[in-house]
Amino acid sequence: MKSLEELRALREKMKSQTDNRSVAGADETVIKVGMATCGIAAGARPVLDAMLDEAEKRQLHNVSISQTGCIGLCRLEPIVEVFKDGQKYTYILMTPEKARKVIVDHVVNGNVCTDYLIGENS
Amino acid sequence: MRELALNILDIAENSLRAGASLVQIRLCADFLKDEMTIAVEDNGCGMSKEMAASVTDPFTTTRTTRKVGMGVPLFKYSAESAGGTFRIRSEEGKGTCVTATYRIGHVDRMPLGDFGGVVLQLVTMNPQTDFLVTVQSGGQTGVLDTREIREILGEDIPLGAPEVRAFLKEYISENLVSIYGGRL
Ligand SMILES: Nc1ncnc2c1ncn2[C@@H]1O[C@H](COP(=O)(O)OP(=O)(O)O)[C@@H](O)[C@H]1O
Ligand code: FES
Ligand SMILES: [Mg+2]
């Protein structure tokens, strides 16, 4: 069974590793997932999990993923906001699959997923 | 909401918005009594009596200009439609405690769902807030206290670091979810 003893060992291991994580800089991509009542009810949790998972699998260190409150567009939830290259992109009606695609196409390769953007299909 | 765990997340988000530094989540399942209790308690800004009443029943109490929130009413409904009870205690400047009970075997009780995943999300995505999560069932108790975790990790390692997150995921499954055996 996992114990806090194990966490102590993990911490020692993490401390001894030379920190090669790049420090968040100007090129950082910030991703926010709406986690108010409407967002949660519409499936924001699996969307957030998919993004965290995809970012970790690809070892994306210059991406910060967090949650935010009500974005005010209930019927378009789950909503994901991506702040990249000084611009804000609002992705609507997200699913875990679409979320993974946004990470790969937009965040990694720089190709905005225009089909999922607000205004394109709403 | 299709899972009570999602209601717990939503109610805990209220506590975060209220500026709580500590959020306590308790889950008790008494299979012999056929009763389950979920409580979310915080030390946030709290509410006046009138406010607490209008938040709980936004359509029967005098409407104010604020927009009607659905989080608290949905949580209340989840309990009362499953043979249970709902209570909100709040004091301005002190904090809020929201408690819901359920008849476990009631046909209309929603499944608990991914409680472990919700706890993981709360503790890893909110670096400013501490969580004390307690699960009790069949004479067993499981606890996750982020204050304890933070003390071990020190200031430079966040709970959301991938390695720590992976540890916490298993810790939650083995120490919290295992208490009720995932059968809720
Ligand atoms: N734990 C809490 N502490 C302080 N205020 C709260 C708390 N929970 C709810 N409230 C108040 O009740 C309101 C309604 O909550 P809720 O039904 O969840 O809808 P919403 O969060 O969308 O506003 C909140 O906006 C807040 O003002
Ligand atoms: S009230 Fe619906 S998204 Fe905020
Ligand atoms: Mg709410």
pLDDT digits (tens, 9 = 90+) for A32-47: 999 999 999 999 999 9
Q: Is the pLDDT of residue A24 over 60?
A: no
DSSP A114: G
Q: How many residues does chain B have?
A: 184
Locus of tokens 């989840």:
B78
**Beta carbons of A10 and B163 less than 8 Å apart:** yes
Residues spanned by the domain of A109 = 25-118
Q: CB contact, 8 Å: B170 with chain A?
A: yes
Overall domain count for chain A:
1
A11 found inside a domain: no
Q: B130 with B150: CB under 8 angstroms?
A: yes
A6 found inside a domain: no
Q: Which domain CATH number covers A102?
A: 3.40.30.10
Distance CA A105, CA B79 (A): 43
Distance CA B106, CA B155 (A): 46
**B37: its two tokens:** 């209790």
Closest Cβ–Cβ partner in A11, A48, A69 for B157: A11
A17 found inside a domain: no
Domain ranges of chain B: 4-180
Max intra-chain CA distance, chain B: 50
Q: Which residues of A touch B170 (CB under 8 A)?
A: 2
A86 found inside a domain: yes
A15 found inside a domain: no
Separation in Å, CA of B10 to nearest CA in chain A: 6
A31 found inside a domain: yes
Q: What is the pLDDT of residues B79-101, one digit of tens each?
A: 999 999 999 999 999 999 999 99
C-alpha pair distances (Å), A33 with each of A68, A81, B96: 6, 6, 26
Q: Can you name the CATH fold of B4-180?
A: Heat Shock Protein 90 (3.30.565)
Q: CB contact, 8 Å: B22 with chain A?
A: no
Q: Say what the ipTM of the complex is.
A: 0.91
CA A1 to chain centre: 30
